[in-house]
Structure formats: C-alpha cells, structure tokens
Amino acid sequence: MNIKNKLRAGIGFLFLMALISSGMADYYLTRLSNDSKAILKDNYRSLVYAKNIQQALDYPTSVNTATKLQIIEANVSKEEQNITEPGEGQLADSLRGNFEQYKLSLNNQQAINGLNIKMRNVLYNIMQLNMAGIERRNAIAQDTADKGIILVSLIGSLCFLIAFSFVWNFPGYIANPVKELIQGIKEIANKNYNKRLIFPVKDEFGDLADAFNQMAGKLNEYENSNLASIIFEKRRIETIINSMHDAIIGIDDKMFIIFANKVACTLIGLPEDKLTAQYAPNIAMENDLLRNMLFVDQHKMKIFADNRESYFEKEVLEVTNDYKVIGKVIILKNITDFQQLNDAKTTFIATISHELKTPLSSIKMSLKLLEDARVGEINTEQKQLLKNIDDDTHRLLHITAELLDAAQVETGKINLNFGSTHPKNIVSYAVQAIKSLADQKELTIAIDCPDTLPNVMADLDKTTWVLINLLSNAVKYSPTKSTINLDVKKSKNNIIEFSVKDSGQGIDEKYLARIFERYFRIPGAAADKTGTGLGLAIAKDFIEAQGGTIGVESEAGEGSRFYFSLNINNT
Ligand code: ADP
C-alpha cells in the first residue's frame, strides 16, 4: 500500500473510531433519556394520580363533595389510562369499583369509611407497584449507563492507543527512510557506487529505494566503463610516450615523478620503478642529468648517451587544471643528428666563406689595378662594367664576412675584447661608417648621446658592428629624406640603452618574435633582396655574449625601434 493510501486508511480509521464512539455515546444517552422518560411517563404519573386521590380522600368535610369527587374521578380515569405494570390493571379496576360504590354511599358514613380504607389500600398497592417499577427501570437505566460508559471508554481507549501509536510511529516512518536516503546520497557523492538502499515496504519509499539503486547501478556501470576507457587511454599514451625517441618525465606539483619513459630511464640511468613515485629532488641530488633537467635553466644540453656525445633540447610544459599548475612534463628532445648536420653546415659555411675571401680580395685588387691608367686606358663602357663588378665583389665580400662571423658565433668562437668606452665612441664610429649610405637617400641621422653618460663595458668593434647593422637596416627600410633617431640614454639598473628608430615600413607583429632568428627575412619585404637574414642574429649573439640584451618595437607601417643595452663600467 502506498503512503498516501496508508495515511488515508490511518486517519480514516481514527475518524471512524471517533464516529463509532460518538454514535455509541449518542445511542446510550438516547436510551438513558428514554428510560428516564419511561419512568416519568409510566410510574411517576401513576404515583402522582394516587397521591392526588389520597389527598382528595383526606379533604376535610368542609370541602365541597362535588369538587372532591370530581378530582378523584379525574385521577382515577387518568390512572386507568396509564396501566404500565403487570397487575396494575386489576388494581385500577378495583379502584374504579370502590370509587363507584363510594359515590353511591355518600349518605352512609360507615360505608364511606370502609370504602375509604379499601381505596387507600388499592392506592397503596398501585404506589407500591409503581415504586417497584421505578426501581426496576432505574436499574435498567443504570445498566444502560454502565454499558455505555464501558463501551465508550473502550472505544476511546482504542482510539487513543491507535492515535498514540500513529503519532509515535509515523514521524519515524517518514524520517527513517529519508535519513537512509540522505546517507545513501552522501555515499554516492563519495563515489561509493556500491551503496544500495533496502526498504522492504512496497510504498513510495520502496519505489524511491528502487530508483536510487537503479541510479547507483548505472553510475557504477558508467564509472567502470569510464575507468576502463581511462585505463585504455593511459596505456595508449604510455605506449606512445615509450615509443618516442625523446626523453619524457612527468612530475606532479609536489615534485614527485609520475612517469618516465624508456629513453628518460636510459639517460638518467635508473630503472622505471626507481623513478616513478619518487621525490624528484632526492634523486636529483645524486643524478646530474635529472638535476639539470629540473633545476638548471638551460635550453640545450650535451649528454653522453648512446655511446656518443648527444645533444638534447629541453622543453618544459606546464600541466594546468582550471588555471592551476598541477605538474609539469619535461621533454628532452634528442637533437644530436640535427646538431651534427648543423655543425657540418657551419663548418662548410666557414670553410667556403674563408676560401671565397681570398679570391674575392684578389678580384678586388685586380679591379683596383685595372682602374689605374698605367695598366691601360679603358673606355667609359668598360669603366661602368668594372664598377658593377667592383660593387658585386664588395657585396660578396660583405656576405662572406657575415657568414664567417655567423659561423664563428655558432661554433662558440666569439673572442670578446672588453674595454671601458664612452657610448659616444661607438656612436661616432657607426655613424661615420653609415654616413655615405644615408646621404644617398638624403636621410638625417638625429643623434642624442649626452656627454654626461658614463662609460660602458664593451667590445668596441663588435658593438660598433651591431650599431652599424641596425643603422644600415634603418637606412635600408626608411623612406628617402626621412629622419633616423639614434638615442643613447641611461636606463635603470646601471644600464645604457642604444636605440635606432626609423619611420620605415615597420614589421608585422607576427614576424617580431622571429626577427632575430638566423637566416630569417620577412617574406616579400621590398628593400634589399641581397640580404642574408644573418645581421640581427649575429647582433643578438654579440650583445648577449657581452651580457646585454637586444630587442625591437615595431608596428607595420609605423616604423621600427631597435635597441640594445650594455652594462655601465663600474670600475
Ligand atoms: P638582412 O638585413 O641581411 O636581411 P637582418 O637580420 O639584418 O638581415 O634582418 C632580418 C630581416 O628583418 C630583414 O630581412 C628585414 O625584413 C627585417 N628588418 C630588419 N630591420 C628592419 C627595419 N628597420 N625595418 C623593417 N624591417 C627590418
């Protein structure tokens, strides 16, 4: 039975009980009332009539006989019509007979006295009979009242017991399953999907338990299938990670190693079970490679692996969850082959540039000789051709020099010749070198380099080379008759900043990050098709080798500002 029907039945039953008890009370009260009415009607009136007759018989002689007889006649007649007790009829008849004789014997005092006694006897018997009747009826009424009290009390007690048990049990009947349900939901929230509810009754709570159990079952199924797919995915990723040639290590936010692939284990020199779930700094204390991976901010690493000098590039990827870093993955990319090719390329370029320098210089020398009139007269056309050859040779020499510089930088062979020098020296050397180029485009170079600036600690040649490079780029990319600003100023942290600002075509934002890369040239940039894309890369190496920084600010169409900074000489 469902709760609704149970409630209906319970309350309905109580209501019925209350109805029955009130019906019973009503029934017994009516019976009592009837009994008392019967006493009044049947017996009490007969007593009254008898009493009236007796009183009339007792009237003194002064009372009018006719009135006396009239009263007796009326009461005898009433008594005759109120026969309620067995034997009362004969008594009434005898009373009537005596009274009839009494009326006839009015002149005979002696007969009257005898009849008076007789009538009084009959009246006495009638009264006795009715008194007995009253007692009997009273006993019946008493019995009815007792029965009524007992029955109503019984039904009242039953009602009370039922209502009490209802009030006592019903809250628990509702609250207990609800409590169990809350407990069950909490278990589900804690991922205990094996929790089941057992309500033996087949009511709404039973249905609720069935629905809950169904939900828990489904969640369990889902969790298991989810778990299975997660395990599958984990294995798949493990397989991929293990088959990679790069070393990969995963570390959680508390610096415990979560995983390390085969390559990482081989490089570190420890088996996987000695790495996973271990506190990384503990192992790093005794393992150089792991220490370098975790704590040294070094992009490129040289490690003896695979029985040879191997090169690795370190990449650290942060693992985030809702913008919170929950760990990191360190990848060591094996770039040995690439490095070897790069070395070969650098050596090749260095050799070629070096080898080209000699014949190119001799071509230049020969051209100088040809220009000399003592060697022989040449006509204007030939002169022009020779000039073209000279220009190209000059450009070739410039390119080979840059390539050689780049090769030197790549092989780490930058020889720095540090000295204390005033920024003005660097500026004037560079401006001198670039002047004729700037003049060709009628450019103004506005210099702001205060005398009050302190000396910088720098390699004069290499820094001048960098500034010339920036200026020559500015010249290349500036529109004719524009101004190039060359500013030198002291910035915070004991640093001097050199900046070259032009009003040329500027650089698109997407290329800014790559501008200092080797051989990078902006695709489709109009000016100077003969560049190598090495100038800025070499400039970066030269400046960084001196402990400085180099950068650019630019917007397409708005011109560019290249700057580099050097340390002040504090000695
Ligand atoms: P190169 O000038 O030999 O091509 P650089 O390394 O000096 O090589 O410059 C790389 C590229 O950066 C250039 O090809 C050019 O596209 C861009 N660039 C350099 N300086 C400027 C500048 N002042 N304005 C616009 N683009 C520039």
For residue 451, which of 427, 482, 475, 420 has the smallest C-alpha distance?
A: 427
pLDDT at 529: 59
Mutation probe of ligand 1 site: the residue of 434, 475, 482, 521 with most atoms within 8 A of C-beta: 521
Protein residue with its CA nearest to atom 19 in ligand 1: 473
* Of the candidates 207, 204, 186, 206, the residue with the CA atom closest to the CA atom of residue 195: 186
pLDDT of residue 215: 92
> If 0-12 CB within 10 Å is exposed, 13-18 middle and 19+ buried, where does residue 153 land?
exposed
The pLDDT score that the predictor gives to residue 300 is: 78
**The pLDDT of residue 455:** 93
pLDDT tens-digit readout, 397-415: 888 888 887 777 777 667 7
Residue nearest to atom 8 of ligand 1 (CA): 533
Can you give the pLDDT at residue 525?
A: 65
Q: How far is the CA of 514 from the centre of ligand 1 (A)?
A: 11
Q: Ligand 1, closest atom to CA 538?
A: 6
Ligand 1 atom at shortest distance from the alpha carbon of 536: 6
Q: What is the model's pLDDT at position 560?
A: 96
- The whole-number pLDDT of residue 527 equals 54
What are the beta bridge partners of residue 498? 488, 564
pLDDT at res. 153: 86
pLDDT means over runs of 10, the chain (571 residues): 78 82 84 80 88 90 85 94 91 93 89 91 93 88 86 84 84 85 91 87 85 91 85 86 86 92 87 90 86 80 74 88 87 85 82 83 87 82 89 85 78 79 94 90 95 93 91 93 96 90 92 88 69 85 91 92 92 72
Task: List residues near ligand 1 (CB under 6 A).
Answer: 469, 473-474, 477, 502, 504-505, 507, 515, 520-522, 525, 531-537, 560
Span from the CA of 534 to the centroid of ligand 1 (angstroms): 9
Question: Which is the closest atom of ligand 1 to the Cα of 504?
Answer: 24
Sketch out the chain's domains with CATH numbers.
Answer: 237-334 (3.30.450.20), 340-406 (1.10.287), 416-567 (3.30.565.10)
Query: Which of 405, 434, 437, 515 has most ligand 1 atoms within 8 Å of its beta carbon, as the pocket-test mutant?
Result: 515
Please check whether residue 566 is in contact with residue 486, taking contact to mean a CB–CB distance below 8 angstroms. no
pTM score, two decimals?
0.46
Angle ∠(397,400,402) on CA atoms, nearest 5: 110
Number of Cβ atoms within 10 Å of the Cβ of 262: 15
Angle ∠(461,467,473) on CA atoms, nearest 5: 135
Helical packing angle, 535-545 and 460-477, nearest 10°: 150
